[in-house]
Structure 1
Amino acid sequence: MFIYELYLIFTKFLAFPIDVSTEIFFEEQPFPVVTVCNANPYKLSVIQSDSKLGKIKTLLQSYKAAVAKTLPSSDPGNYGLYEKMVLPYQLDQRARDALALEVAQLDQNILRPALYTFEELITKCTFSGRTCSRADFTEIVDPIYGACYSFNENSSLSYSTNRAGMKFGLKLLITVSQETTGLITDFLPTTGVAGARIAIHPRGSNPSMDNLGINVGVGYQTAIALTSTKYKRMKRPYGRCVDKESDATNFYTRIFQSSFQDKTYSLDTCFFGCRQRDTVAKCGCANPRYRKTSSLTYCEPTKTNLDCLQNLRGDQASTTSPNICPLTECSCDPPCSEITYSTTASIAKFPAANYYVATDNVRGVGGSCDDLNKNFAGDVQNCRLWYENNGLLLQVFFETLKYESYTEGASYGISGALNDLGGHAGLWLGLSVISIVEVCGLIALLVMYCVTCGGIKIRPDEGDIAADHRIQDIEEVKKELDIADKHDKDLELSEDEDLKSPRKDEDAKQK
């Protein structure tokens, strides 16, 4: 029975179980990074007028012809847009893939005029009622959404909040410029929504606009309430978390080690690297949706490459070519420390019928409805109508300063295993710690005796005894005690004789 209990103890210990402790805190919180992009990545007017962007113009023309089903004998751009698609959405997806491949071949300086500037996208910015500026934002160029601007990304900034509620967060007036003031559309035909693409994430993390971003529509005030949650996980052998994946196993580390080495590791970045590795292996080129090293080249916008990218995406309903499963195919581990934000969104119509839109930018296209703004010629109603189709109000704030923290800890360590071992040993074998030590000592002596073939002296010889002053002292004390004991016995005998002599005299007299 004891052997079975011993087996259970070791089995439980080697399973390395963990406990998760939950703590609730209420304190000042650092404000997350809010990244904002236009849902439309590039200005149509610039693409149509700039000869350097002629291939993108040809792509858009081919897409419009495919949508209208005015199919010529051949595809001038060789994108495969005129082939029959199995599913309706595949045409839109293929056109967006082709656009990403075309843009990846261009130098960013050539593409710059078609991107939206900060002033064109963000008309007004306040944080907790105080005005924020361009210096509070960091520009990134997303391969799908073009120029994006991240609030509070720079490490020199320290925006935080110690009060919850809409008044104590970020407020942005965003103008996506779907139409010019002359009601001329400036959106690409491949852009399906009018609004902004936003992502809320911790500082240093990849915003992943295409995968994790959310759309915010024009003509509305969108209020996003945040609640944060913190996780602290254990490393092996108790858990699987990592601070940063090794270069040998994580493609993300290798492709970002130069320009993105300060980025925080996350599951998403590991998944992106896994997908890029799969793309390079099967298509021979890199997908522009994910970063690459200088030794790799982005896929050229050809039908063959587009077919390859589409096949890699797979079909979720298909058993022969399913979607890639990052959980089983990428071997990605979660980060040891992580902050997540859960969101609750609410919307309201913006602007109201009698609302006066006022900003500092009274001369710009997305400026104030003030009479000084020549874009609307003093027509306030026309200005409000323009904002309904081209503007939106975004507010991001903490719903509460309370947050939960989940911390993993070992639930059965060395001390627990030893305690159980000692308890069962005492129960089943009647052993205590002292007896175990004595048995171990006895076994050690027996082993040493057997190894030395009896050469070990178990008791000292006569010479050792004679030379030991402690033994001599004991012998002297023993002699003194013996002498004292003999003296005591002699005294007792003499006293007995004295007591007997008077009795003898009395007996003699009586006789």
Structure 2
Amino acid sequence: MNRGPPNPRMFKFQPNPKVKNRFQDEADLRSLRSFKTDFSNYLASDTNFLNVAEIMTSYAYGESNNANEKEIQCDLLTENGGIEIDPTRLSYRERIRWHLQQFCYKTSSHGIPMLGQAPNSLYRAVWVFLLLICAIQFINQAVAVIQKYQKMDKITDIQLKFDTAPFPAITLCNLNPYKDSVIRSHDSISKILGVFKSVMKKAGDSSAEASDDGVEYDMDGITIQAKRRKRGAGEKGTFEPANSACECDEEDGSNECEEKSTEKPSSDNDMCICAFDRQTNDAWPCHRREQWTNTTCQACDEHYLCSKKAKKGTKRSEIKKEPCICESKGLFCIKHEHAALVLNLWEYFGDTEEFSDISTEEREALGFGNMTDEVAIVTKAKENIIFAMSASEEQRILMSQAKHNLIHKCSFNGKPCDIDKDFELVADPTFGNCFVFNHDREIFKSSVRAGPQYGLRVMLFVNASDYLPTSEAVGIRLTIHDKDDFPFPDTFGYSAPTGYISSFGMRMKKMSRLPAPYGDCVEDGTTSNYIYKGYAYSTEGCYRTCFQELIIDRCGCSDPRFPSIGGVQPCQVFNKNHRECLEKHTHQIGEIHGSFKCRCQQPCNQTIYTTSYSEAIWPSQALNISLGHCEKEAEECNEEYKENAAMLEVFYEALNFEVLAESEAYGIVKMMADFGGHLGLWSGVSVMTCCEFVCLVLELLYMAVTHHITQERIRRRENAANEF
């Protein structure tokens, strides 16, 4: 083999300990060092081959000189004219040093090769100093990059898209949840309304006593209104005679008496007959029974108010003799069939003072207490009705207004609606039967153009004559929401009055939020305990879910205003413990929004509708709407619809919508680019350089593991040899 001059950095001998004692002569050692290190003037003729042979037999490459298991034992390998060392024949430490030196020579990182090629220690120290400065500077920049990435900043992009916006779902409810004519047959409701009537009367009496003798004065001190306002016949529904307990003041010479409709008369002397209006629950005037006489009247109006003589100019053919009952002076007459039974008001309202069919505990459970504020009393009565009707959803649906009774006419995009198919029933605990337009998620509806003519136009009839006494306003509750969302009419709804055409102009916004780690929004389908099954997650629904869970945990029953969880029964209206527990914890956990008790995030994808409202008097005198359910004359129908109906318009103000989308401000790609830029700036390191370092670490680990395994095998062999 033709061998060139060996590389002094890679060619090193180790003495064999068995023959180490042969070379005690210092000259031999100097000769050996010269042989190992000085090859600059190498000539084949200058070589003492006998001496070299003796040295080669006395020294070996590393610890594997006698490794007979190696298939090829070759100390020197010639490649490209140079001498290369087989690293597997070096000792463990020499192999690590050899690999580190090779890495320094071959790495693509800047500066590190200068360490391996440094001619002296000063040169090497300068490069070590420079490498440390660059490493420190890189670490500072890397920490800043990581901190910037960990902030998880977001960018909100706002786009205005000129595209066809999907039409939302519209939920319509009557402000009166249940029909008064039907719900009074319910025992619990009858008790609640009886107590409500009594409490309202006491509150009115206490307010009257607190006033200045119940008399109002104008600026000049002249009396302008008595304590009790006598409403005109045009303000009432229909009158009928009714028996009532009364209190008459004989001293003032007046034959009128003060009714006590909720009290049962103790004797006939305390009984009066009053003109009673079921719509307003007002009984006036009242006179003693003996002061009323059965007679006939020549004229009666639609309110059943009659007069003994017809108006002047009335033709004889138009005069009809109607049975009526008149007070002694004949100034006030009511239409009444003489053979018909007279209504007893204490039975109609229930015996609210003694309540033979309601216990003291049940009355306390209703929670009226010593309330004197009529607004608070009405609010509590509404809550009691919700509790009383929570047992059966089917019963609530039957006692509330039906679809065709509420919705009379409808059009969308200028075309008539199919009321049966286009509206879906949703039973709401607060408003009874509600009806959702555009409920089908598989059907895409959109407005052809902007404006009220191309939106939803619907005419609704609320039938105010059948309202509960707890209904404070007459009209419609409207909620605009996405198809996938529950409407929440009690929270997000708008009230529209009767006798007006109410216009709701809409604009749509689409929100797209980033989930963790950039934000804390809730992705679709990630909530398992959401009580509004079948609907998309919303923040309001989350808070109600959390509130319901807390109430069930602390009271053992569920709040009937929200869907229950796991089949838990709702709190009973007349259960004092249930009501007190619910009332107590409702106030305690009322501030759950934003507290540690309930953490509800925004949904990642959300559609928001903003509205603008305007109204106009409806119907006009020129409008003939007798084609509806009204079969009277046009003027009478207009008057009836003013009192009982409302017209609604829901439309897009413009055929464009906003899209608000969050995006990451500093992502992993930008962070890696900044890392690469700083590494390249300070160290000239690239991805391939990082791979080189990884390979070096793996090689060193492999060498360490194999070294320890080899040492363990040798130790076992030596132990086995010593045993024999």
TM-score norm. by structure 2 comes to: 0.54
Report whether the alignment pairs 1:271 with 2:543: yes
In the TM superposition, residue 209 of structure 1 has moved relative to its aligned partner by: 1.5
Aligned partner of 1:121 among 406, 410, 415? 406
Inter-partner Cα distance in structure 2 for 1:217 and 1:305: 36
Aligned with 1:276: secondary structure?
helix
Report whether the alignment pairs 1:13 with 2:149: yes
Paired letter, 2:623: Y
- Kindly report which structure 2 residues correspond to 1:212-291, keeping only aligned pairs within 5 A, or say none: 212-244=492-524, 246=526, 250-252=528-530, 255-256=531-532, 260=533, 262-291=534-563
Aligned with 1:301: secondary structure?
coil
Structure 2 contact 479–487 (Cα < 8 Å) conserved: yes
Inter-partner Cα distance in structure 1 for 2:441 and 2:704: 70
In the TM superposition, residue 103 of structure 1 has moved relative to its aligned partner by: 0.4
Report whether the alignment pairs 1:310 with 2:569: no
Report whether the alignment pairs 1:295 with 2:606: no
Inter-partner Cα distance in structure 2 for 1:396 and 1:23: 24
- Kindly report which structure 2 residues correspond to 1:337-416, keeping only aligned pairs within 5 A, or say none: 337-359=605-627, 361=628, 364=629, 367=630, 373=631, 376=632, 378=633, 380-416=634-670
- Alignment deviations for residues 22-41 of structure 1 (CA, whole Å, 9 cap, x no partner): 22211112211111111001
Aligned with 2:191: secondary structure?
helix
Paired letter, 1:339: T
Inter-partner Cα distance in structure 2 for 1:434 and 1:56: 81
In structure 2, relative to structure 1, the CA distance for the partners of 1:286 and 1:434 (3 Å cut) is closer
In the TM superposition, residue 353 of structure 1 has moved relative to its aligned partner by: 3.2
Paired letter, 1:4: N
Aligned with 2:594: secondary structure?
helix
In structure 2, relative to structure 1, the CA distance for the partners of 1:80 and 1:269 (3 Å cut) is closer
Paired letter, 1:241: C
Aligned partner of 1:323 among 581, 590, 606? 590
Paired letter, 2:148: K
Aligned with 2:389: secondary structure?
helix
Q: How many residues align?
A: 418
In structure 2, relative to structure 1, the CA distance for the partners of 1:62 and 1:428 (3 Å cut) is same
In structure 2, relative to structure 1, the CA distance for the partners of 1:47 and 1:446 (3 Å cut) is closer
- Alignment deviations for residues 182-209 of structure 1 (CA, whole Å, 9 cap, x no partner): xxxx111111110011111111211112
Paired letter, 1:242: V
- Alignment deviations for residues 195-227 of structure 1 (CA, whole Å, 9 cap, x no partner): 011111111211112222221111111000111
- Kindly report which structure 2 residues correspond to 1:36-55, keeping only aligned pairs within 5 A, or say none: 36-48=172-184, 50=185, 53-55=186-188
Partner of 2:426: 140
Structure 2 contact 166–445 (Cα < 8 Å) conserved: yes
Inter-partner Cα distance in structure 1 for 2:621 and 2:158: 48
Partner of 1:130: 415
Inter-partner Cα distance in structure 2 for 1:171 and 1:97: 32
Partner of 2:196: 63
In the TM superposition, residue 357 of structure 1 has moved relative to its aligned partner by: 2.2
In the TM superposition, residue 6 of structure 1 has moved relative to its aligned partner by: 1.5
Inter-partner Cα distance in structure 2 for 1:144 and 1:12: 50
- Alignment deviations for residues 62-109 of structure 1 (CA, whole Å, 9 cap, x no partner): 11211111783677552444412497643222211110111012x344
Paired letter, 1:57: S
Partner of 1:31: 167
Paired letter, 1:118: K
Moved more, 234-243 or 194-203: 234-243
Structure 2 contact 200–374 (Cα < 8 Å) conserved: no
Moved more, 69-78 or 284-293: 69-78
Structure 1 contact 98–306 (Cα < 8 Å) conserved: no
Inter-partner Cα distance in structure 2 for 1:251 and 1:277: 9
Inter-partner Cα distance in structure 2 for 1:436 and 1:200: 57
In the TM superposition, residue 301 of structure 1 has moved relative to its aligned partner by: 0.4
Aligned with 1:231: secondary structure?
strand
In structure 2, relative to structure 1, the CA distance for the partners of 1:436 and 1:299 (3 Å cut) is closer
Structure 1 contact 172–395 (Cα < 8 Å) conserved: yes
Aligned with 1:125: secondary structure?
strand
Inter-partner Cα distance in structure 1 for 2:152 and 2:368: 58
In the TM superposition, residue 274 of structure 1 has moved relative to its aligned partner by: 1.0
Moved more, 299-308 or 224-233: 299-308
- Kindly report which structure 2 residues correspond to 1:98-117, keeping only aligned pairs within 5 A, or say none: 98-105=384-391, 107-117=392-402
In the TM superposition, residue 381 of structure 1 has moved relative to its aligned partner by: 2.7
Moved more, 159-168 or 339-348: 159-168
Inter-partner Cα distance in structure 2 for 1:335 and 1:102: 34
Paired letter, 1:117: A
Moved more, 74-83 or 62-71: 74-83
In structure 2, relative to structure 1, the CA distance for the partners of 1:98 and 1:420 (3 Å cut) is same
Partner of 2:455: 169
Partner of 1:460: none
Inter-partner Cα distance in structure 1 for 2:376 and 2:577: 16
In the TM superposition, residue 60 of structure 1 has moved relative to its aligned partner by: 1.2
- Report the identity percentage: 28
In structure 2, relative to structure 1, the CA distance for the partners of 1:24 and 1:112 (3 Å cut) is closer
Partner of 1:210: 490
In structure 2, relative to structure 1, the CA distance for the partners of 1:358 and 1:427 (3 Å cut) is farther
Structure 1 contact 199–213 (Cα < 8 Å) conserved: yes
Inter-partner Cα distance in structure 2 for 1:83 and 1:434: 81
Partner of 1:492: none
Paired letter, 2:662: E
Moved more, 302-311 or 85-94: 85-94
Structure 1 contact 176–195 (Cα < 8 Å) conserved: yes
Inter-partner Cα distance in structure 1 for 2:626 and 2:613: 25
Inter-partner Cα distance in structure 1 for 2:550 and 2:697: 61
Inter-partner Cα distance in structure 1 for 2:557 and 2:472: 28
Structure 1 contact 231–337 (Cα < 8 Å) conserved: yes
In the TM superposition, residue 170 of structure 1 has moved relative to its aligned partner by: 0.3
In structure 2, relative to structure 1, the CA distance for the partners of 1:450 and 1:322 (3 Å cut) is closer
Paired letter, 1:337: N
In the TM superposition, residue 307 of structure 1 has moved relative to its aligned partner by: 3.1
In structure 2, relative to structure 1, the CA distance for the partners of 1:452 and 1:400 (3 Å cut) is same
Partner of 1:422: 676
Inter-partner Cα distance in structure 2 for 1:425 and 1:156: 54
In structure 2, relative to structure 1, the CA distance for the partners of 1:450 and 1:285 (3 Å cut) is closer
Aligned partner of 1:197 among 457, 462, 477? 477
Structure 2 contact 397–432 (Cα < 8 Å) conserved: no
| Structure 2 segments unaligned to the other structure (5+ residues) | 1-136, 206-351, 710-724
| Structure 1 segments unaligned to the other structure (5+ residues) | 180-185, 315-320, 368-372, 456-511
TM-score norm. by structure 1 comes to: 0.75
Partner of 2:228: none
